[in-house]
Structure 1
Amino acid sequence: MTTRTARADQQPGTPPRRGRPRKGASTLTRDVVIETAISVIDEEGVEGVSMRTVARRLGVDAKSLYNYVDGKDHLLDAVAEHILVTVALPEPTGSLDADLRAIGRTFRAATLAHPRAGALVLTRQLSSAAGLRPVATVLSVLRAAGCGPEEAVHLLRTLLASVVGTLLREVSAGPTFGVVGPEATARRQHDLEASGLPVLVEVAPHLARFSHDEEFEYALDLVVTAVTRKVGEGGPTAPQAPPA
Protein backbone atom coordinates (compact mmCIF):
# COMPACT_ATOMS: atom_id res chain seq x y z
CA MET A 1 0.00 0.00 0.00
CA THR A 2 1.45 3.35 -1.00
CA THR A 3 1.05 6.54 0.96
CA ARG A 4 1.01 10.04 -0.44
CA THR A 5 3.39 12.59 0.94
CA ALA A 6 1.71 15.91 1.57
CA ARG A 7 3.07 18.81 -0.45
CA ALA A 8 4.92 21.44 1.50
CA ASP A 9 2.31 24.08 0.63
CA GLN A 10 -0.68 21.84 1.41
CA GLN A 11 -2.46 22.42 4.71
CA PRO A 12 -3.22 19.35 6.88
CA GLY A 13 -6.66 18.00 6.13
CA THR A 14 -6.91 19.87 2.81
CA PRO A 15 -7.64 17.63 -0.21
CA PRO A 16 -4.87 17.71 -2.83
CA ARG A 17 -5.41 20.05 -5.78
CA ARG A 18 -6.15 18.48 -9.12
CA GLY A 19 -5.00 19.59 -12.56
CA ARG A 20 -2.31 22.17 -13.15
CA PRO A 21 -0.61 23.26 -9.94
CA ARG A 22 -1.22 26.84 -8.95
CA LYS A 23 1.79 28.99 -9.56
CA GLY A 24 3.17 30.66 -6.49
CA ALA A 25 4.06 34.31 -6.26
CA SER A 26 7.74 33.35 -6.57
CA THR A 27 7.17 32.47 -10.23
CA LEU A 28 5.81 35.93 -11.04
CA THR A 29 7.77 38.58 -12.82
CA ARG A 30 6.66 41.75 -14.55
CA ASP A 31 7.34 40.15 -17.95
CA VAL A 32 5.26 37.08 -17.06
CA VAL A 33 2.32 39.27 -16.05
CA ILE A 34 2.55 41.32 -19.26
CA GLU A 35 2.95 38.29 -21.53
CA THR A 36 -0.06 36.66 -19.89
CA ALA A 37 -2.09 39.83 -20.50
CA ILE A 38 -1.04 39.71 -24.17
CA SER A 39 -2.22 36.10 -24.43
CA VAL A 40 -5.60 37.14 -22.98
CA ILE A 41 -5.84 39.95 -25.54
CA ASP A 42 -4.87 37.63 -28.41
CA GLU A 43 -7.72 35.28 -27.47
CA GLU A 44 -10.40 37.57 -26.04
CA GLY A 45 -9.52 41.10 -27.13
CA VAL A 46 -8.65 44.08 -24.94
CA GLU A 47 -12.12 43.97 -23.39
CA GLY A 48 -11.25 40.56 -21.90
CA VAL A 49 -8.36 41.91 -19.84
CA SER A 50 -8.71 42.60 -16.15
CA MET A 51 -6.49 42.06 -13.17
CA ARG A 52 -8.69 39.09 -12.26
CA THR A 53 -8.52 37.39 -15.66
CA VAL A 54 -4.74 37.69 -15.81
CA ALA A 55 -4.37 36.48 -12.22
CA ARG A 56 -6.68 33.54 -12.92
CA ARG A 57 -4.49 32.42 -15.80
CA LEU A 58 -1.41 32.65 -13.62
CA GLY A 59 -3.09 30.81 -10.74
CA VAL A 60 -2.48 33.61 -8.25
CA ASP A 61 -4.51 36.13 -6.30
CA ALA A 62 -5.20 39.31 -8.25
CA LYS A 63 -3.70 41.36 -5.43
CA SER A 64 -0.27 39.88 -6.13
CA LEU A 65 -0.22 41.50 -9.57
CA TYR A 66 -0.11 44.94 -7.96
CA ASN A 67 3.52 44.24 -7.09
CA TYR A 68 4.26 44.58 -10.81
CA VAL A 69 1.60 46.94 -12.23
CA ASP A 70 -0.55 49.61 -10.61
CA GLY A 71 -3.81 48.43 -12.12
CA LYS A 72 -5.52 47.63 -15.40
CA ASP A 73 -4.70 50.94 -17.06
CA HIS A 74 -1.03 50.62 -16.18
CA LEU A 75 -1.10 47.00 -17.37
CA LEU A 76 -2.45 48.04 -20.77
CA ASP A 77 0.29 50.67 -21.07
CA ALA A 78 2.82 47.98 -20.20
CA VAL A 79 1.42 45.71 -22.92
CA ALA A 80 1.77 48.46 -25.52
CA GLU A 81 5.32 49.18 -24.38
CA HIS A 82 6.22 45.48 -24.41
CA ILE A 83 5.09 45.14 -28.02
CA LEU A 84 6.93 48.30 -29.04
CA VAL A 85 10.15 46.95 -27.49
CA THR A 86 9.98 44.03 -29.92
CA VAL A 87 9.90 46.36 -32.94
CA ALA A 88 13.22 45.88 -34.72
CA LEU A 89 13.45 49.35 -36.22
CA PRO A 90 15.58 49.41 -39.37
CA GLU A 91 18.95 51.09 -39.40
CA PRO A 92 18.87 54.45 -41.22
CA THR A 93 20.27 54.37 -44.76
CA GLY A 94 20.45 58.11 -45.31
CA SER A 95 17.57 58.01 -47.80
CA LEU A 96 14.55 59.81 -46.34
CA ASP A 97 12.16 58.04 -48.70
CA ALA A 98 13.54 54.53 -48.06
CA ASP A 99 13.88 55.03 -44.32
CA LEU A 100 10.32 56.28 -43.80
CA ARG A 101 8.88 53.44 -45.85
CA ALA A 102 10.93 50.87 -43.94
CA ILE A 103 9.83 52.29 -40.57
CA GLY A 104 6.18 52.28 -41.65
CA ARG A 105 6.31 48.65 -42.80
CA THR A 106 8.15 47.54 -39.68
CA PHE A 107 5.59 49.25 -37.48
CA ARG A 108 2.77 47.55 -39.35
CA ALA A 109 4.39 44.12 -38.97
CA ALA A 110 4.74 44.65 -35.21
CA THR A 111 1.11 45.77 -34.93
CA LEU A 112 -0.20 42.79 -36.88
CA ALA A 113 1.82 40.34 -34.76
CA HIS A 114 -0.84 41.00 -32.08
CA PRO A 115 -3.71 42.52 -34.07
CA ARG A 116 -6.20 42.51 -31.19
CA ALA A 117 -3.72 44.58 -29.19
CA GLY A 118 -3.16 46.88 -32.15
CA ALA A 119 -5.35 49.68 -30.85
CA LEU A 120 -3.28 49.81 -27.65
CA VAL A 121 -0.02 50.16 -29.56
CA LEU A 122 -1.46 52.76 -31.90
CA THR A 123 -3.45 54.96 -29.55
CA ARG A 124 -1.96 54.95 -26.05
CA GLN A 125 0.32 57.92 -25.41
CA LEU A 126 3.35 56.45 -23.72
CA SER A 127 6.10 58.40 -22.00
CA SER A 128 8.57 55.58 -21.35
CA ALA A 129 11.75 55.12 -23.37
CA ALA A 130 10.17 52.10 -25.08
CA GLY A 131 7.09 54.06 -26.07
CA LEU A 132 9.10 57.01 -27.37
CA ARG A 133 11.73 55.04 -29.29
CA PRO A 134 9.79 54.85 -32.61
CA VAL A 135 9.00 58.57 -32.35
CA ALA A 136 12.66 59.38 -31.74
CA THR A 137 13.67 57.24 -34.71
CA VAL A 138 11.36 59.06 -37.13
CA LEU A 139 12.42 62.45 -35.78
CA SER A 140 16.09 61.51 -36.18
CA VAL A 141 15.51 60.54 -39.81
CA LEU A 142 13.71 63.83 -40.50
CA ARG A 143 16.35 65.91 -38.74
CA ALA A 144 19.12 64.13 -40.67
CA ALA A 145 17.29 65.06 -43.88
CA GLY A 146 17.59 68.72 -42.95
CA CYS A 147 14.29 69.45 -41.20
CA GLY A 148 14.29 71.96 -38.38
CA PRO A 149 12.94 70.80 -35.00
CA GLU A 150 9.47 72.33 -35.46
CA GLU A 151 9.10 71.16 -39.05
CA ALA A 152 10.17 67.65 -38.03
CA VAL A 153 7.40 67.53 -35.42
CA HIS A 154 4.74 68.68 -37.91
CA LEU A 155 5.86 66.06 -40.43
CA LEU A 156 6.01 63.36 -37.74
CA ARG A 157 2.40 64.04 -36.78
CA THR A 158 1.31 63.95 -40.42
CA LEU A 159 3.06 60.62 -40.93
CA LEU A 160 1.52 59.17 -37.78
CA ALA A 161 -1.97 60.37 -38.69
CA SER A 162 -1.80 58.49 -41.98
CA VAL A 163 -0.04 55.32 -40.84
CA VAL A 164 -1.90 54.96 -37.54
CA GLY A 165 -5.26 55.72 -39.17
CA THR A 166 -4.68 53.09 -41.85
CA LEU A 167 -3.58 50.49 -39.31
CA LEU A 168 -6.49 51.21 -36.97
CA ARG A 169 -8.87 50.53 -39.85
CA GLU A 170 -7.02 47.27 -40.49
CA VAL A 171 -7.06 45.96 -36.91
CA SER A 172 -10.18 47.55 -35.45
CA ALA A 173 -12.68 48.27 -38.22
CA GLY A 174 -14.01 46.85 -41.43
CA PRO A 175 -12.73 47.91 -44.84
CA THR A 176 -13.89 51.30 -46.04
CA PHE A 177 -16.72 50.62 -48.54
CA GLY A 178 -15.04 47.57 -50.08
CA VAL A 179 -15.03 43.98 -48.87
CA VAL A 180 -12.50 41.16 -48.73
CA GLY A 181 -12.91 37.90 -50.68
CA PRO A 182 -14.04 37.19 -54.25
CA GLU A 183 -17.64 36.17 -53.47
CA ALA A 184 -18.28 39.13 -51.16
CA THR A 185 -16.62 41.43 -53.67
CA ALA A 186 -18.88 40.21 -56.48
CA ARG A 187 -21.99 40.83 -54.37
CA ARG A 188 -20.77 44.26 -53.37
CA GLN A 189 -19.98 45.19 -56.96
CA HIS A 190 -23.46 44.13 -58.05
CA ASP A 191 -25.02 46.34 -55.34
CA LEU A 192 -22.91 49.32 -56.40
CA GLU A 193 -23.75 48.87 -60.07
CA ALA A 194 -27.45 48.66 -59.18
CA SER A 195 -27.29 51.89 -57.15
CA GLY A 196 -28.22 54.07 -60.10
CA LEU A 197 -25.47 56.54 -59.20
CA PRO A 198 -23.21 56.95 -62.28
CA VAL A 199 -19.98 57.57 -60.41
CA LEU A 200 -20.50 54.47 -58.25
CA VAL A 201 -21.24 52.36 -61.32
CA GLU A 202 -18.03 53.64 -62.92
CA VAL A 203 -15.79 52.77 -59.96
CA ALA A 204 -17.72 49.70 -58.78
CA PRO A 205 -15.02 47.07 -59.59
CA HIS A 206 -12.48 49.04 -57.55
CA LEU A 207 -14.72 50.25 -54.73
CA ALA A 208 -16.14 46.77 -54.16
CA ARG A 209 -12.74 45.17 -53.68
CA PHE A 210 -10.45 45.76 -50.69
CA SER A 211 -6.90 44.65 -49.90
CA HIS A 212 -5.28 45.66 -46.62
CA ASP A 213 -1.81 45.24 -48.12
CA GLU A 214 -2.58 47.45 -51.10
CA GLU A 215 -4.34 50.11 -49.04
CA PHE A 216 -1.48 50.33 -46.55
CA GLU A 217 1.12 50.60 -49.31
CA TYR A 218 -0.92 53.25 -51.11
CA ALA A 219 -1.35 55.33 -47.94
CA LEU A 220 2.32 54.93 -47.06
CA ASP A 221 3.42 55.91 -50.57
CA LEU A 222 1.14 58.96 -50.56
CA VAL A 223 2.32 60.36 -47.24
CA VAL A 224 6.02 59.54 -47.72
CA THR A 225 5.97 61.12 -51.19
CA ALA A 226 4.36 64.24 -49.73
CA VAL A 227 6.85 64.42 -46.87
CA THR A 228 9.93 63.93 -49.05
CA ARG A 229 8.66 66.53 -51.51
CA LYS A 230 8.00 68.96 -48.68
CA VAL A 231 11.49 68.44 -47.27
CA GLY A 232 13.03 68.77 -50.74
CA GLU A 233 11.26 72.06 -51.27
CA GLY A 234 12.50 73.42 -47.97
CA GLY A 235 9.00 74.42 -46.88
CA PRO A 236 8.22 76.72 -43.97
CA THR A 237 8.92 75.42 -40.51
CA ALA A 238 5.36 76.09 -39.37
CA PRO A 239 1.99 76.33 -41.06
CA GLN A 240 1.01 79.83 -42.08
CA ALA A 241 -1.75 81.46 -40.02
CA PRO A 242 -4.98 82.12 -41.93
CA PRO A 243 -5.52 85.73 -42.93
CA ALA A 244 -7.44 87.84 -40.41
Structure 2
Amino acid sequence: MRHDEAVTNRTAPADKQPGTPPRRGRPRKGAGTLTRDAVIGAAISVIDEEGVEGVSMRTVARRLGVDAKSLYNYVDGKDHLLDAVAEHILVGVALPEPTGSLDADLRAIGRTFRAATLTHPRAGALVLTRQLSSSAGLRPVATVLSVLRAAGCGPDEAVHLLRTLLASVIGTLLREVSAGPTFGVVGPEATAARRRDLEDSGLPVLVEAAPYLARFSHDEEFEYALDLIVTAVTRKVDDGGRP
Protein backbone atom coordinates (compact mmCIF):
# COMPACT_ATOMS: atom_id res chain seq x y z
CA MET A 1 0.00 0.00 0.00
CA ARG A 2 1.29 3.43 -0.89
CA HIS A 3 1.97 5.90 1.93
CA ASP A 4 -0.70 8.38 0.75
CA GLU A 5 -3.34 5.59 0.69
CA ALA A 6 -2.49 4.62 4.27
CA VAL A 7 -2.82 8.21 5.45
CA THR A 8 -6.18 8.55 3.71
CA ASN A 9 -7.53 5.38 5.33
CA ARG A 10 -6.33 6.43 8.81
CA THR A 11 -7.97 9.88 8.64
CA ALA A 12 -11.28 8.98 6.99
CA PRO A 13 -14.25 9.75 9.29
CA ALA A 14 -16.07 6.78 10.80
CA ASP A 15 -19.32 7.42 8.94
CA LYS A 16 -17.48 7.34 5.63
CA GLN A 17 -15.94 3.85 6.14
CA PRO A 18 -16.76 1.28 3.45
CA GLY A 19 -19.87 -0.72 4.15
CA THR A 20 -21.46 1.85 6.50
CA PRO A 21 -25.03 2.60 5.33
CA PRO A 22 -25.96 6.27 4.95
CA ARG A 23 -27.94 7.81 7.82
CA ARG A 24 -31.56 8.52 7.03
CA GLY A 25 -34.09 10.90 8.57
CA ARG A 26 -32.56 12.50 11.65
CA PRO A 27 -29.26 14.35 11.40
CA ARG A 28 -26.11 13.08 13.08
CA LYS A 29 -25.92 13.78 16.80
CA GLY A 30 -24.63 17.26 17.31
CA ALA A 31 -24.94 18.08 13.60
CA GLY A 32 -26.85 20.94 12.06
CA THR A 33 -27.66 24.25 13.65
CA LEU A 34 -29.19 23.57 17.04
CA THR A 35 -30.69 26.78 18.41
CA ARG A 36 -33.03 27.81 21.21
CA ASP A 37 -35.81 28.36 18.67
CA ALA A 38 -35.25 24.86 17.28
CA VAL A 39 -35.51 23.38 20.77
CA ILE A 40 -38.73 25.27 21.48
CA GLY A 41 -40.14 24.31 18.10
CA ALA A 42 -39.42 20.65 18.75
CA ALA A 43 -41.11 20.87 22.16
CA ILE A 44 -44.21 22.40 20.58
CA SER A 45 -44.21 19.62 18.00
CA VAL A 46 -44.15 17.02 20.78
CA ILE A 47 -46.99 18.80 22.59
CA ASP A 48 -49.10 19.00 19.42
CA GLU A 49 -48.80 15.24 18.96
CA GLU A 50 -48.58 13.86 22.51
CA GLY A 51 -49.71 16.61 24.85
CA VAL A 52 -47.70 18.37 27.54
CA GLU A 53 -47.25 15.08 29.39
CA GLY A 54 -45.18 13.81 26.45
CA VAL A 55 -42.53 16.50 26.88
CA SER A 56 -39.19 15.63 28.43
CA MET A 57 -35.65 16.61 27.63
CA ARG A 58 -35.18 13.18 26.06
CA THR A 59 -38.28 13.27 23.84
CA VAL A 60 -37.39 16.73 22.56
CA ALA A 61 -33.76 15.74 21.97
CA ARG A 62 -34.88 12.60 20.15
CA ARG A 63 -36.99 14.69 17.82
CA LEU A 64 -33.99 16.89 17.04
CA GLY A 65 -31.63 13.94 16.66
CA VAL A 66 -29.26 15.18 19.37
CA ASP A 67 -28.15 14.12 22.81
CA ALA A 68 -30.42 15.36 25.60
CA LYS A 69 -27.45 16.97 27.38
CA SER A 70 -26.99 19.38 24.46
CA LEU A 71 -30.38 20.97 25.19
CA TYR A 72 -29.08 22.35 28.48
CA ASN A 73 -27.08 24.89 26.47
CA TYR A 74 -30.43 26.52 25.63
CA VAL A 75 -32.81 25.72 28.52
CA ASP A 76 -32.18 24.88 32.18
CA GLY A 77 -34.51 21.89 32.25
CA LYS A 78 -38.07 20.77 31.54
CA ASP A 79 -39.78 23.52 33.57
CA HIS A 80 -37.72 26.20 31.87
CA LEU A 81 -38.52 24.61 28.50
CA LEU A 82 -42.28 24.67 29.21
CA ASP A 83 -42.02 28.32 30.23
CA ALA A 84 -40.20 29.00 26.97
CA VAL A 85 -42.99 27.31 25.00
CA ALA A 86 -45.66 29.41 26.72
CA GLU A 87 -43.62 32.56 26.16
CA HIS A 88 -43.05 31.69 22.49
CA ILE A 89 -46.79 31.36 21.89
CA LEU A 90 -47.52 34.61 23.74
CA VAL A 91 -44.93 36.45 21.64
CA GLY A 92 -47.01 35.50 18.61
CA VAL A 93 -50.11 37.19 20.00
CA ALA A 94 -50.77 40.23 17.81
CA LEU A 95 -52.55 42.33 20.41
CA PRO A 96 -54.91 44.87 18.83
CA GLU A 97 -54.20 48.57 18.99
CA PRO A 98 -56.47 50.32 21.53
CA THR A 99 -59.36 52.30 20.07
CA GLY A 100 -60.32 54.26 23.17
CA SER A 101 -63.51 52.22 23.64
CA LEU A 102 -63.23 50.08 26.78
CA ASP A 103 -65.92 47.68 25.60
CA ALA A 104 -64.48 47.19 22.10
CA ASP A 105 -60.88 46.95 23.30
CA LEU A 106 -61.57 44.31 25.96
CA ARG A 107 -63.55 42.19 23.51
CA ALA A 108 -60.81 42.44 20.89
CA ILE A 109 -58.13 41.44 23.42
CA GLY A 110 -60.20 38.46 24.59
CA ARG A 111 -60.78 37.19 21.05
CA THR A 112 -57.14 37.67 20.08
CA PHE A 113 -55.97 35.80 23.16
CA ARG A 114 -58.32 32.92 22.36
CA ALA A 115 -57.09 32.69 18.77
CA ALA A 116 -53.48 32.54 19.95
CA THR A 117 -54.29 29.85 22.52
CA LEU A 118 -56.05 27.68 19.95
CA THR A 119 -53.09 27.83 17.56
CA HIS A 120 -51.67 24.99 19.67
CA PRO A 121 -54.67 23.72 21.70
CA ARG A 122 -52.75 21.02 23.56
CA ALA A 123 -50.34 23.69 24.79
CA GLY A 124 -53.25 25.85 25.88
CA ALA A 125 -52.95 25.00 29.56
CA LEU A 126 -49.32 26.16 29.52
CA VAL A 127 -50.21 29.52 28.01
CA LEU A 128 -53.13 30.00 30.37
CA THR A 129 -51.68 28.84 33.69
CA ARG A 130 -47.91 29.38 33.80
CA GLN A 131 -46.89 32.57 35.58
CA LEU A 132 -44.23 34.19 33.45
CA SER A 133 -42.01 37.08 34.51
CA SER A 134 -40.52 37.96 31.12
CA SER A 135 -41.63 40.99 29.14
CA ALA A 136 -43.30 38.69 26.60
CA GLY A 137 -45.26 36.93 29.32
CA LEU A 138 -46.34 40.19 30.94
CA ARG A 139 -47.25 42.01 27.72
CA PRO A 140 -50.94 40.92 27.65
CA VAL A 141 -51.29 41.94 31.31
CA ALA A 142 -49.77 45.35 30.61
CA THR A 143 -52.10 45.83 27.63
CA VAL A 144 -55.26 45.14 29.64
CA LEU A 145 -54.07 47.37 32.49
CA SER A 146 -53.34 50.19 30.04
CA VAL A 147 -56.86 49.94 28.60
CA LEU A 148 -58.42 50.01 32.08
CA ARG A 149 -56.24 52.91 33.23
CA ALA A 150 -57.12 54.88 30.08
CA ALA A 151 -60.80 54.34 30.96
CA GLY A 152 -60.24 56.10 34.28
CA CYS A 153 -59.56 53.22 36.68
CA GLY A 154 -57.04 53.73 39.44
CA PRO A 155 -54.18 51.21 39.70
CA ASP A 156 -55.85 49.26 42.51
CA GLU A 157 -59.22 49.01 40.75
CA ALA A 158 -57.54 48.16 37.44
CA VAL A 159 -55.74 45.19 39.03
CA HIS A 160 -58.99 43.86 40.56
CA LEU A 161 -60.77 44.13 37.22
CA LEU A 162 -57.82 42.58 35.39
CA ARG A 163 -57.89 39.53 37.66
CA THR A 164 -61.64 39.15 37.24
CA LEU A 165 -61.35 39.39 33.47
CA LEU A 166 -58.52 36.86 33.35
CA ALA A 167 -60.37 34.44 35.63
CA SER A 168 -63.36 34.46 33.28
CA VAL A 169 -61.47 34.31 29.99
CA ILE A 170 -58.87 31.77 31.15
CA GLY A 171 -61.50 29.58 32.79
CA THR A 172 -63.56 29.55 29.60
CA LEU A 173 -60.52 28.74 27.46
CA LEU A 174 -59.35 25.97 29.80
CA ARG A 175 -62.79 24.42 29.46
CA GLU A 176 -62.44 24.67 25.69
CA VAL A 177 -59.05 22.96 25.46
CA SER A 178 -59.61 20.28 28.10
CA ALA A 179 -63.30 20.06 29.07
CA GLY A 180 -65.05 16.77 29.73
CA PRO A 181 -68.67 15.86 28.86
CA THR A 182 -70.07 17.77 31.86
CA PHE A 183 -70.20 20.83 29.64
CA GLY A 184 -72.00 19.15 26.76
CA VAL A 185 -70.79 17.49 23.58
CA VAL A 186 -70.14 18.45 19.97
CA GLY A 187 -71.72 16.69 16.98
CA PRO A 188 -75.31 15.62 16.22
CA GLU A 189 -74.98 11.95 17.22
CA ALA A 190 -73.17 12.68 20.47
CA THR A 191 -75.64 15.46 21.27
CA ALA A 192 -78.64 13.16 20.72
CA ALA A 193 -77.14 10.47 22.98
CA ARG A 194 -76.31 13.03 25.67
CA ARG A 195 -79.84 14.43 25.53
CA ARG A 196 -81.35 10.95 26.01
CA ASP A 197 -79.14 10.40 29.06
CA LEU A 198 -80.27 13.69 30.58
CA GLU A 199 -83.94 13.06 29.86
CA ASP A 200 -83.65 9.60 31.45
CA SER A 201 -82.12 11.05 34.62
CA GLY A 202 -85.53 11.53 36.24
CA LEU A 203 -84.48 14.97 37.52
CA PRO A 204 -87.07 17.51 36.27
CA VAL A 205 -84.65 20.43 36.02
CA LEU A 206 -82.27 18.36 33.86
CA VAL A 207 -85.10 17.06 31.67
CA GLU A 208 -86.25 20.63 31.06
CA ALA A 209 -82.73 21.84 30.20
CA ALA A 210 -81.70 18.69 28.29
CA PRO A 211 -81.86 20.24 24.77
CA TYR A 212 -79.47 22.98 25.89
CA LEU A 213 -77.22 20.98 28.20
CA ALA A 214 -76.66 18.29 25.58
CA ARG A 215 -75.20 20.51 22.87
CA PHE A 216 -72.08 22.60 23.19
CA SER A 217 -70.55 25.26 20.96
CA HIS A 218 -67.14 26.58 21.96
CA ASP A 219 -67.67 29.73 19.91
CA GLU A 220 -71.04 30.50 21.50
CA GLU A 221 -69.85 29.77 25.04
CA PHE A 222 -66.76 31.93 24.69
CA GLU A 223 -68.73 34.85 23.23
CA TYR A 224 -71.35 34.55 25.98
CA ALA A 225 -68.72 34.54 28.75
CA LEU A 226 -66.81 37.39 27.12
CA ASP A 227 -69.96 39.47 26.71
CA LEU A 228 -70.99 38.84 30.32
CA ILE A 229 -67.66 39.80 31.87
CA VAL A 230 -66.96 42.79 29.59
CA THR A 231 -70.48 44.15 30.18
CA ALA A 232 -69.98 43.82 33.94
CA VAL A 233 -66.55 45.50 33.85
CA THR A 234 -67.63 48.41 31.64
CA ARG A 235 -70.72 49.01 33.78
CA LYS A 236 -68.62 49.07 36.94
CA VAL A 237 -66.15 51.49 35.36
CA ASP A 238 -69.03 53.71 34.16
CA ASP A 239 -70.43 53.71 37.71
CA GLY A 240 -67.12 55.00 39.02
CA GLY A 241 -66.14 51.72 40.66
CA ARG A 242 -69.18 51.57 42.94
CA PRO A 243 -70.36 48.03 43.82
User: TM-score, normalising length from structure 2?
Assistant: 0.89
Q: Which moved more, 1:172-181 or 1:209-218?
A: 172-181
Q: Which moved more, 1:172-181 or 1:138-147?
A: 172-181
Identical aligned residues as a percent: 91
* Per-residue deviation, 1:214: 0.6
* Per-residue deviation, 1:220: 0.5
* Per-residue deviation, 1:57: 1.0
Structure 1 CA distance for aligned equivalents of residues 196 and 21 of structure 2: 66
Any conservation in 1 of the 2:168–2:229 contact (CA below 8 Å)? Answer: yes
Structure 2 CA distance for aligned equivalents of residues 222 and 85 of structure 1: 28
Q: Radius of gyration: which is bigger?
A: 2
* Per-residue deviation, 1:148: 0.3
- CA 1:11 to 1:50, structure 2 compared with 1: closer, same or farther past 3 Å? farther
Does residue 199 (structure 1) correspond to residue 205 (structure 2)? The answer is yes
- CA 1:150 to 1:11, structure 2 compared with 1: closer, same or farther past 3 Å? farther
Q: Which moved more, 1:146-155 or 1:193-202?
A: 193-202
For residue 113 of structure 1, give the secondary structure of its aligned residue in structure 2: coil
- CA 1:193 to 1:17, structure 2 compared with 1: closer, same or farther past 3 Å? closer
For residue 195 of structure 1, give the secondary structure of its aligned residue in structure 2: coil
Structure 2 CA distance for aligned equivalents of residues 188 and 50 of structure 1: 37
* Per-residue deviation, 1:5: 11
Any conservation in 2 of the 1:42–1:114 contact (CA below 8 Å)? Answer: yes
Within-5 A mapping of 1:23-172:
24=30, 27-172=33-178
- CA 1:19 to 1:110, structure 2 compared with 1: closer, same or farther past 3 Å? closer
1:112-150 Cα shifts (integer Å, max 9, x gaps) = 000000000000000000000000000000000000000
- CA 1:117 to 1:128, structure 2 compared with 1: closer, same or farther past 3 Å? same
* Per-residue deviation, 1:81: 0.1
Any conservation in 1 of the 2:198–2:207 contact (CA below 8 Å)? Answer: yes
* Per-residue deviation, 1:178: 1.5
- CA 1:104 to 1:176, structure 2 compared with 1: closer, same or farther past 3 Å? farther
- CA 1:33 to 1:229, structure 2 compared with 1: closer, same or farther past 3 Å? same
* Per-residue deviation, 1:173: 2.0
* Per-residue deviation, 1:208: 1.0
- CA 1:184 to 1:2, structure 2 compared with 1: closer, same or farther past 3 Å? farther
Structure 1 CA distance for aligned equivalents of residues 18 and 129 of structure 2: 51
- CA 1:25 to 1:144, structure 2 compared with 1: closer, same or farther past 3 Å? farther
Any conservation in 2 of the 1:80–1:120 contact (CA below 8 Å)? Answer: yes
Any conservation in 2 of the 1:169–1:175 contact (CA below 8 Å)? Answer: no
Return structure 1 stretches of 4+ with deviation > 6 angstroms.
1-5, 11-15
Structure 1 CA distance for aligned equivalents of residues 17 and 103 of structure 2: 66
- CA 1:164 to 1:19, structure 2 compared with 1: closer, same or farther past 3 Å? closer
RMSD across aligned positions (CA): 2.9
Any conservation in 2 of the 1:46–1:117 contact (CA below 8 Å)? Answer: yes
Structure 2 CA distance for aligned equivalents of residues 171 and 19 of structure 1: 32
1:151-202 Cα shifts (integer Å, max 9, x gaps) = 0000000000000001001112225342111111112112222222222121
Q: Which moved more, 1:198-207 or 1:131-140?
A: 198-207
For residue 2 of structure 1, give the secondary structure of its aligned residue in structure 2: helix
Q: Which runs of 5+ in 1 are unaligned?
A: 236-244
User: TM-score, normalising length from structure 1?
Assistant: 0.89
The aligned length equals 235
- CA 1:211 to 1:26, structure 2 compared with 1: closer, same or farther past 3 Å? same
